[in-house]
Amino acid sequence: MNESGKIHYRSKVVALLITLVCLCSCSERLIFEGEGDCGVYYHIRFKYDYNMKFADAFANEVNSVELYVFDDNNILVDKVKVDDKESLSSGTFEIKLEPKAGDYQLLALGGMSDETSFDLLPETKLGETTLEEMQVRMHREYDYNGNAFIENDLLPLFHGTLPLNVTAEEGTYTETISLTKNTNVIRIMLQEMVDEEIDADKFIFEITDQSGLYAYDNTRLEDETITFKPWSITTGTADIDDPNDGKGKKSSVAVALAEHTIGRMVPEQSPILTIKNRESGEAILTLPIADYALLTKGFYNQGMSDQEFLDRQDEYTLAFFLYGGEWLSSMIYINSWQVIINDEDL
């Protein structure tokens, strides 16, 4: 073999070796890392910073995630469920997908692992279930008259969507789904202003709402009226200093606290709080919670829409004051803001 023939032969060998190295390198990445330049890979991350702190609380608040992938015909093509709390709270949690080229719609639901709070309708089937069919239904019970009620503490429910356009260009990509919290804790506090005990059993605390059913886009769907009963009622006393006494004299105030958990609020369909006299059944107070909550948006939140404020805020304390068992005044505390209500005919 002449010199030129040897060089040509060596060039072929080198080219073949380079090809084999590339193939092996790609193969090793696929086997050991599950991704590489030889395919299309998406890392789907999640955040929950749609709150009043504007800080990501996903790792602390979300205890399960269900991710549903729908194709351009809105047909379910993939789903992943994760309820490993260690992974979810790690601060680096993500779900890895290997989608084919195309347009997709991702739907994420958080907090669905406890089936005593929310149900997913219908039972999902790959290749059959459509995006429009996806609904989340608040689990409820019925009394002997057929009226729906909920008296347990609903676990936090989170919702998020993301459109995803996948091309055939190989590589690893990262996308983030922002979540909205759909549950709200409502605390009803009765405070007696004179030095005597308060009997919480004299009162019935109820919140009624017209929907516990949510569509795939998180809108509230037509539903039956649901009565939310308190899942906790506690009483206690607290000592306070008498500002008119220079000798450190203290007096005590009695407090009763009723706690409810309700669903997503919208301005046009405010849940109604009713406090009744248990003995007579008479309604002592009726109040639209969302309407009064929006009065506390304040100066710094005026740039928010009403819906954004209600979605970001998830805890409300409503304080009502008694004097010798008679209604004195009322306040709604949300963060540091308050609304004072002196109308006895509310």
Neighbour tally for 232: CB within 10 Å: 11
* pLDDT for residue 254: 85
pLDDT digits (tens, 9 = 90+) for 208-263: 999 999 999 999 999 999 999 999 999 888 777 666 655 656 677 888 899 999 99
pLDDT bin (cut points 50, 70, 90) of residue 186 is very high
Nearest-angstrom CA–CA distance, 76 and 68 = 7
pTM: 0.84
Strands 272-277 and 283-288, sheet pairing: antiparallel
Nearest-angstrom CA–CA distance, 296 and 298 = 5
* pLDDT for residue 325: 67
* pLDDT for residue 140: 96
Q: Choose between 206 and 198: higher pLDDT.
A: 206
DSSP 130: B
Task: Say if residues 99 and 40 touch (Cβ distance below 8 Å).
Answer: yes
* pLDDT for residue 31: 31
Neighbour tally for 93: CB within 10 Å: 18
118-121 β-sheet, strand order = 118-121, 135-138, 213-214
pLDDT digits (tens, 9 = 90+) for 77-98: 999 999 999 999 999 999 999 9
pLDDT bin (cut points 50, 70, 90) of residue 321 is confident
pLDDT bin (cut points 50, 70, 90) of residue 322 is confident
| pLDDT tops 90 at residue 33 | no
Q: Choose between 56 and 318: higher pLDDT.
A: 56
Two tokens, residue 319: 């304080």
DSSP 52: T
DSSP 8: H
Task: Say if residues 327 and 287 touch (Cβ distance below 8 Å).
Answer: no
Neighbour tally for 117: CB within 10 Å: 20
| pLDDT tops 70 at residue 336 | no
pLDDT digits (tens, 9 = 90+) for 106-155: 999 999 987 789 999 989 999 999 999 999 999 999 999 999 999 999 99
Average confidence score pLDDT of the chain: 85
